């Protein structure tokens, strides 16, 4: 018969010396203190003032993606109705009307080929050519001017933190970076090229300003709606209902 195996008696565990217990407690306590300090640091650290929180990136793509753009124009060249949009990117009173109206106007009338939009940079400040205008023009050279304009309006509150020219250029670069298809290096080159006083961009901005003044466009953003049956001038951030009524009048 096979002999039964006898389990060896278990060796009794040696109790941890009292001094060793204190070391374990001390290490655990120090770990908890470090963790608490890290949590407090994360909770109380100041926001990096150089970071720009660009708003509306997904919405800009949804609104304007797939719609033909060239320079100031959004929509088909064959559209029977033309709407010139006179606006100032850095005008706080212009923001809400643009952000609320433009998505609906684009979806209903521009995509269908009924209307084309032409953006006119029209300053509401003492400076006819504001810094933001040049960034939008640089994006327009690649066919993304309307995305840039929309993102700028959506992120307009952030712009107030970047008042000097070098900081503002970083702000504009963040806006440009929110447009997925935009080539940033090419945009930067266009921005530098266009920012000079005698550039074609500056001359175009001056022409926009002069046109708005000749049409007596008031502060707050205006539109000139033109079609086969005439022209309607809308002032001070017109509503979608006002724009639709003007389109019906000039068709």
Domain of 183, CATH number, reads 3.40.30.10
State if pTM tops 0.85: no
Residue 136 domain boundaries: 57-80+88-114+122-220
Q: Are strands 222-227 and 115-121 parallel, antiparallel or unpaired?
A: unpaired
Q: Which of 15-29, 84-98, 123-137, 153-167 tops mean pLDDT?
A: 84-98
Determine the pLDDT at residue 5: 46
Measured at the alpha carbon of residue 27, what is the angle toward residues 24 and 31, in degrees to the nearest 5? 140
Determine the pLDDT at residue 92: 84
Q: Is residue 238 part of a domain?
A: no
Q: Quick one: average pLDDT of 78-98?
A: 92
Using the predicted structure, report yes or no on whether residue 8 has a pLDDT greater than 70: no
| More reliable by pLDDT, 190 or 44 | 190
The per-residue pLDDT of the chain, averaged, comes to: 83
Determine the pLDDT at residue 53: 86
Using the predicted structure, report yes or no on whether residue 20 has a pLDDT greater than 70: no
* Contacting residues for 199 by C-beta, under 8 A, at least 6 apart: 193
- Whole-angstrom CA distances from 163 to 68, 92, 158, 192 are 33, 15, 10, 18
Determine the pLDDT at residue 166: 74
Nearest Cα to Cα of residue 154 among 135, 178, 130 = 178
Q: Is residue 195 part of a domain?
A: yes
Q: Is residue 141 part of a domain?
A: yes
């Amino acid at each position: 018969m096979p002999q039964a195996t006898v389990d060896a008696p278990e060796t009794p565990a040696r109790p941890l010396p009292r001094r060793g217990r204190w070391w374990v407690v001390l290490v655990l306590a120090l770990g908890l203190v470090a963790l608490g300090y890290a949590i407090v640091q994360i909770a109380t650290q100041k926001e990096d003032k150089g970071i720009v929180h660009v708003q509306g990136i997904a919405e800009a793509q949804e609104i304007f993606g797939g719609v033909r753009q060239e320079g100031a124009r959004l929509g088909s060249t064959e559209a029977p109705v033309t709407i010139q949009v006179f606006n100032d990117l850095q005008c706080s009173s212009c923001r809400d009307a643009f952000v609320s109206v433009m998505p609906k106007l684009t979806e209903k009338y521009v995509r269908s080929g009924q209307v084309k939009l032409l953006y006119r940079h029209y300053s509401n400040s003492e400076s006819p050519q504001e810094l933001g205008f040049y960034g939008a023009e640089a994006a327009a050279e690649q066919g993304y001017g309307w995305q840039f304009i929309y993102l700028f309006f959506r992120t307009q509150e952030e712009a107030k933190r970047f008042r000097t020219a070098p900081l503002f250029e970083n702000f504009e670069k963040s806006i440009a970076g929110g447009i997925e298809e935009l080539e940033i290096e090419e945009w930067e080159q266009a921005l530098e090229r266009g920012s000079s006083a005698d550039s074609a961009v500056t001359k175009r901005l001056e022409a926009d300003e002069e046109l708005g003044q000749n049409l007596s466009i008031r502060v707050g953003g205006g539109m000139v709606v033109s079609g086969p049956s005439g022209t309607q001038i809308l002032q001070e951030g017109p509503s979608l209902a006002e724009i639709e009524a003007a389109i019906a009048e000039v068709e």
